[in-house]
């Protein structure tokens, strides 16, 4: 957040060379962030590993409309346009282009709705809301705020910014003179980019974008290193033989093998599965934490069948008794390594 704030401040100062050109846009964006966080609270959404980045994203994405508005405002003030005529001109010449920018930005963030990860979907929704809020404030609150500033001060500062204008004009002329060279370089870069794109190795780590100084990441790393991790892991098991039930002892023995493989292969902990429940019941009967023999399992099986609609068992067993699942927590080792472990798991299951 601090880095993006500093970069934006520098950009605003270089663009407008005015304290007004820095303070006013920052006020608009900060109010937009405040409104967005208020909407999150009103809808019952709390800060999670994704939405913690929302203020930073808003500070950058929400600045676009303010800068477009402010740039046009400076131009008209420098021309001596009366204040009452400036705002209609801005709406006419800048309003529609910034609205199109708003639409494309919102569509981009809403594309995150196709993600299967709930925090990512929520991030897309609330960032989209924040961008819309920033757009609305840019054309309502910003004009009202500028009404209290003296345009003459803006004219004086704006008129001294000829060096930047000359640099931009010379850059434009250079582009016109070197069109072919630019096209060739662009084509080469595009080809190299496409080649490099196919060599990208996807390896998502949940909080890799956050600084190690942030408390939520320190807490995350503590549990990741000392308590078998916090990354959710689930396996859905469906029986091919419809004459069998997941609580049959021979089926449980096979599922228990999968449990043990997951524990060894992934370093998983906090495993919740039907075999783990059976072993816990077996231990409560005065025996070891292990799968019971046929005789001991009779009473345990009856208890499972009688209580299969219990809330806890209902999470593991479907109504027909032919599906169950294994839930666990694994270290956040990255999606690339997880994919390798998944392949090993599939191979193990195929050999069973």
Over 90: is that where the pLDDT of 162 sits?
no
First-to-last alpha carbon distance for the chain, in angstroms, is: 51
Rounded to the nearest integer, the mean pLDDT of the chain is: 85
The CA distance from 66 to 25, in Å, is: 6
Q: Cβ neighbours of residue 200 under 8 Å, at least 6 residues apart? A: none
What is the tens place of the pLDDT at every residue in 217-275? 888 888 888 887 888 889 999 998 888 999 999 999 999 999 999 999 998 988 999 99
What pLDDT does residue 144 have? 85
What pLDDT does residue 158 have? 46
Over 60: is that where the pLDDT of 157 sits?
no
Q: Cβ neighbours of residue 297 under 8 Å, at least 6 residues apart? A: 249, 278, 291
40-68 mean pLDDT? 83
**Adjacency order of strands within the sheet including 269-272:** 231-238, 323-330, 269-272
What pLDDT does residue 160 have? 46
The CA distance from 331 to 347, in Å, is: 21
What pLDDT does residue 23 have? 85
- What CA dihedral angle connects 148, 33, 26 and 73, to 10 degrees? -60
What pLDDT does residue 150 have? 66
**What value, to the nearest 5°, has the Cα angle with vertex 329 and ends 328 and 331?**
145
What is the tens place of the pLDDT at every residue in 180-201? 999 999 999 999 999 999 988 8
Domains of the chain (ranges, CATH numbers): 2-160 (1.20.1640.10), 229-351 (no CATH)
The CA distance from 287 to 247, in Å, is: 20
Dihedral pair phi/psi, residue 253, rounded to 5°: -65, -40
Higher pLDDT, 168 or 98: 98
Higher pLDDT, 50 or 170: 170
Over 60: is that where the pLDDT of 215 sits?
yes
What pLDDT does residue 1 have? 61
What pLDDT does residue 195 have? 95
What pLDDT does residue 294 have? 87
Over 90: is that where the pLDDT of 305 sits?
no
The CA distance from 191 to 170, in Å, is: 29
Token pair listed for 150: 């003296």
Which phi-psi region, left, alpha or beta, contains residue 267 (left: φ > 0; alpha: ψ -120 to 50)? Answer: left
What pLDDT does residue 212 have? 76
Q: CB of 65 within 8 A of CB of 133?
A: no
CA nearest to 54, candidates 67, 39, 71? 39
Q: Cβ neighbours of residue 134 under 8 Å, at least 6 residues apart? A: 28, 29, 32, 58, 61, 62, 63, 65, 66
Three-state SS across the chain? CHHHHHHHHHHHHHHHCCHHHHHHHHHHHHHHHHHHHHHHHHCCCCCCCCHHHHHHHHHHHCHHHHHHHHHHHHHHHHHCCCHHHHHHHHHHHHHHHHHHHHHHHHHHHHHHHHCCCHHHHHHHHHHHHHHHHHHHHHCCHHHHHHCCCCHHHHHHHHHCCHHHHHHHHHHHHHHHHCHHHHHHHHHHHHHHHHHHHCCCCCCCCCCCCCCCCCHHHHHHHHHHHHCCCCEEEEEEEECCCCCCCCCCHHHHHHHHHHHHHHHHHHCCEEEECHHHHHHHHHHHCCCCCCCCCHHHHHHHHHHHHHCCCCHHHHCCECCCCCEEEEEEEECCCCHHHHHHHHHHHHHHHHHC
Angle between helices 118-138 and 19-42 (to 10 degrees): 130
What pLDDT does residue 92 have? 87
Which range among 69-78, 91-100, 279-288 shows the weakest confidence by mean pLDDT? Answer: 69-78
């Amino acid at each position: 957040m601090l880095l993006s704030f500093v970069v934006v401040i520098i950009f605003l100062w270089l663009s407008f060379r005015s304290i007004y050109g820095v303070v006013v846009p920052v006020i608009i964006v900060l109010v937009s962030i405040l409104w967005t966080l208020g909407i999150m609270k009103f809808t019952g959404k709390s800060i999670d590993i994704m939405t913690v980045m929302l203020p930073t994203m808003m500070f950058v994405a929400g600045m676009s409309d303010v800068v477009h508005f402010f740039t046009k405002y400076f131009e008209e003030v420098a021309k001596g346009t009366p204040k009452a005529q400036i705002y209609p001109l801005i709406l006419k010449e800048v309003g529609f282009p910034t609205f199109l920018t708003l639409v494309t930005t919102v569509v981009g963030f809403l594309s995150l709705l196709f993600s299967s990860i709930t925090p990512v979907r929520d991030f897309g929704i609330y960032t989209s809301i924040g961008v819309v809020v920033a757009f609305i404030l840019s054309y309502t609150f910003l004009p009202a705020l500028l009404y209290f500033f003296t345009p003459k001060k803006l004219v004086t500062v704006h008129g001294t910014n000829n060096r930047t204008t000359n640099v931009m004009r010379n850059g434009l002329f250079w582009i016109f003179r070197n069109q072919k060279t630019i096209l060739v370089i662009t084509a080469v870069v595009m080809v190299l980019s496409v080649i490099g794109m196919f060599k990208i190795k996807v390896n998502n780590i949940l909080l890799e974008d956050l600084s190690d100084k942030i408390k939520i990441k320190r807490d995350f790393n503590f549990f990741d290193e000392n308590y078998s991790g916090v990354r959710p892991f689930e396996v859905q098991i469906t029986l091919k033989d419809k004459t069998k039930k997941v609580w049959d002892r021979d089926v449980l023995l096979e599922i228990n093998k999968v449990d043990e493989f997951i524990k060894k292969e992934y370093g998983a902990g906090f495993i919740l599965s039907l075999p783990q429940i059976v072993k816990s019941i077996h231990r409560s009967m005065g025996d070891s934490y292990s799968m019971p023999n046929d005789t001991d399992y009779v009473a345990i099986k009856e208890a499972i069948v009688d209580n299969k609609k219990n809330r806890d068992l209902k999470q593991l067993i479907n109504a027909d008794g032919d599906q169950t699942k294994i839930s666990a927590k694994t270290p956040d080792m990255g999606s690339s390594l997880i994919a390798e472990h998944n392949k090993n798991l599939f191979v193990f299951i195929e050999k069973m």
